[in-house]
Structure 1
């Protein structure tokens, strides 16, 4: 099974993916963003833009996920913002046509909730460090609420653990109990944030 976790930038996708992975034995996180980063590193800086517009990104993500789903026995978790219907079809639609079980979840929240999360993610620079995410926020929230991008999970008042629980319940997955205390939970979140800081 593929669990694709969609949502706006700063919506909690990565933290939720790693919480699912932590509590779901034999699962693996396959982050489509890494395909994009690889394409950017191969491209002259002046030519870099939104890597999702590159057919090579969409084809590459499809092929990597198809390989993972075909060769890995556990659940594959992919956290990635994807709001273009045609791109959705070219990746998730093709994976379904290839016989894979695909579960899609869009994490949605109010604008101020997401801005607050982006401020935290931006560390000392706050929203200055998140200009791209802020510039795309309204478009993402509007598009993700369309029926095409269901199943929707409203996350304004949910913890990461509760979001993971809802995804697991909807997908028929059994998670290990969450035994973390407040301090360990906080340290895990900081660790995930630090591992996903973009330096440029």
Structure 2
């Protein structure tokens, strides 16, 4: 199974994913961003883009990487990754379904004021213009499709530990 943890940049996906992994037996974290980083390392580079998710190979490579890892290890993959483009989510989820891989899709949500404050106060990364630029696209995705396609965990008043426990409890 895959536990996909979505949400905008700075929502706490990486932190919560590590906590979820620790609570689930036989679970591993696979960050799909590493697939994008591999594509970014190709020389000469792929066509210019502001987001590696726009490269057509990224989505099927995420599916294939997850499938191969699960075939090898079994268990659960916890995958923290922001996906705000509905077509991209459809490609990934359909690809995983074609391989018979069940996916539980969660979105970490916080209201915009809380999210902006967390981005500004991040002690590890510091304030991030990159993260701020995705606050509005996330809000648009949340309104139009994302929240309907996932189990929303409102983290506005939750600690990362509480959010992780909610996800694991939801898994049963």
Q: Give the TM-score taking structure 2 as reference length.
A: 0.89
Distance 1:20 1:101 in 2: 17
Report if the CA contact (8 A) 2:7-2:109 is conserved.
yes
**Equivalent in the alignment of 1:92:** 93
Report if the CA contact (8 A) 1:4-1:104 is conserved.
yes
1:143 paired to 2:144: no
More helix by share: 1
Distance 1:39 1:120 in 2: 31
Distance 1:89 1:115 in 2: 28
Shift of residue 48, structure 1, vs aligned partner = 4.8
Tell me how large the CA RMSD over aligned residues is.
Answer: 2.0
Distance 2:4 2:98 in 1: 16
C-alpha change, 1:164 and 1:32, in structure 2 (3 Å) is: same
Segments of structure 2 that go 5 or more residues without pairing to the other structure are none
Larger radius of gyration: 1
Q: Give the TM-score taking structure 1 as reference length.
A: 0.78
Report if the CA contact (8 A) 1:107-1:155 is conserved.
yes
Distance 1:93 1:117 in 2: 33
Distance 1:80 1:123 in 2: 18
Equivalenced residues, count: 169
SS of alignment partner, residue 79 of structure 2? strand
